[in-house]
Amino acid sequence: MARMTKHWFPLAVYLTLVFCIAACAVPTASHQSPSATTLAGGEAVVSVDETATHALFPSDFIGLSYEASLLAEARSFPTKSGNLVALFGLLGQGNLRIGGNSVDRQMFWQPGNRAVPPWATAVVKPADIDRLAQFSTTTGWKVELAVNLGHLDTAAIASEAQYARAALSKQLVALSCGNEPNDFPKVLRPAGYGYVQYHADFTACANAIGTSVPIAGPDTTGAYISALVHDEASRLTLITQHAYTLNQCHGQHASVTQLLSAASDQSELSKVEPTLQAAQTVHLPLRLDETNSVSCGNSSGVGDVYASALWAVDYMLLMAQQGVAGVNFHGGLGICSQRNGLAGWYTPLCAASFADLQADLFTPQPLYYGMLFTSLLGPGRFYGVTVSTASNLTAYALGGNDGRTRVMLIEKDDPTGPPIMVRLRCGTSLGTAQVLHLTGSSLTGNQGISIQGARIDQSGHFRLPKADQLQGSRGLYTLALPAGSAALITLP
């Protein structure tokens, strides 16, 4: 039986789907969707309802996440050399989160001559915050910065908060207290540590930060979120959750097939629905400030291949459509061939060689191309969409802030397969649509990935080629969408 996929929020959206090859007006009497079984293989019907508006796609939705230990490295986030500023700039003005496990297990704030304890292998000094502030100002990216909760030192937290507030100024989105405190009993707290103990630690941390700096939390995969929202909504400005689509920890196996499956879409939704409800109850934004394809990082052949680019487009838009305020893809800035860190296999950026690393030159990975392609959608508000097809195709539509309607199609089958004939119905518009394509030669390869045939150069610059033209009539457009590709359609 052919599969029907639906992407919308809220779920109950009824759309007209009566089609004719010749131009015809949209009928208003019927609200029934045609059965996918009426479609031949390799066909899809996509219908957009511009009267059904849903969540916003904000301009700062796209984000990146790095370990706090990276901040302690003197060469991190350069502004005078290399291509990192240009690569961040290509994505727009996003959100840069500094945290991860290293903030509690390794990071030590040293504003003066404080003695460094034995556990501290990442010493962060005022000069490191200054460098981050300069990078943030240069790129326009806002910063979410974590302080050490695992080794709770309220005097150090107060000192770091005061310095970060002064250095980052309006670029500081929030400070967060620690990272995944529900896992503290494994390494930092005795057995029996739970929400009650965490809440006491959080309160001490928040009191040390003070009222002049926004606070985010709790930076867990779901634990403690509802309770913290209930107890501390007045003190929080941002709810933060971590989520990974697949799990390759403890010997589990992840695959490209799993990553691109409809089951993964449903799993992604189930992870955020409870926390979205909690956040929306108190009118606070929810941000997935640490996320990626496969947890534990060792996802060679999944998170570092073209499939991850298609997944990223679908994942970001699925989350945004539900009301998530932003996502930060976790990664590192090491050498691509030395993927010995947890972020090694799925990082959006890495250096191709030691020489490139020394020159601060980073190579965009497949995931980055997916982020860049999604950024071309621009900010706006989601419309209702229905997809009927037997193919692995998803679709999203957006009413852009510039007044243009844009539709994103993501076809997640093998690129060697035949194209999918997509009939797109949106209103009664006339004229020529503009189409951009994200393509790659193999789901399991990482070569030949491009946007409209173009790639990012070594300097971090990208020139978008001219879009393809697609003629439509009275809201009907027919597109031959290559298998294993994404298309961004801007309607006239």
Lowest-pLDDT choice from 15-24, 53-62, 106-115: 15-24
CB-count exposure of residue 53 (10 Å: 0-12, 13-18, 19+)? middle
**By three-state DSSP, how is residue 146 classified?**
strand
pLDDT tens digits along 139-186: 999 999 999 999 999 999 999 999 999 999 999 999 999 999 999 999
Choose between 338 and 244: higher pLDDT.
244
pLDDT at position 4: 38
Of 151, 158, 147, give the one whose Cα is nearest residue 207: 158
- Tell whether the model's pLDDT for residue 213 goes beyond 70: yes
Contact (CB, 8 A) for 375 and 381 = no
Going 247 to 330 to 343 to 416, the CA torsion angle's sign is positive
Residue 3 has pLDDT above 70, yes or no: no
Nearest to 396 by CA among 387, 411, 408, 379: 408
Q: How far apart are CA 396 and CA 111, in angstroms?
A: 48
- pLDDT, tens digit (0-9, with 9 covering 90-100), for 260-305: 999 999 999 999 999 999 999 999 999 999 999 988 765 678 999 9
The domains found in the chain, sorted by start residue, are 4-56+380-490 (2.60.40.1180), 60-375 (3.20.20.80)
Give pTM, 2 decimals.
0.90
Q: Nearest 10 degrees: CA dihedral of 487, 286, 281, 244?
A: 80
Helix, strand or coil, per DSSP, at residue 45 = strand
Q: What is the mean pLDDT of residues 87-107?
A: 97
DSSP H helices in 60-149: 68-71, 84-90, 102-105, 126-139
Q: Check residue 238 and give its pLDDT.
A: 97
Q: Please, what is the end-to-end C-alpha distance for the chain in angstroms?
A: 35
Average pLDDT, integer, range 91-95: 97
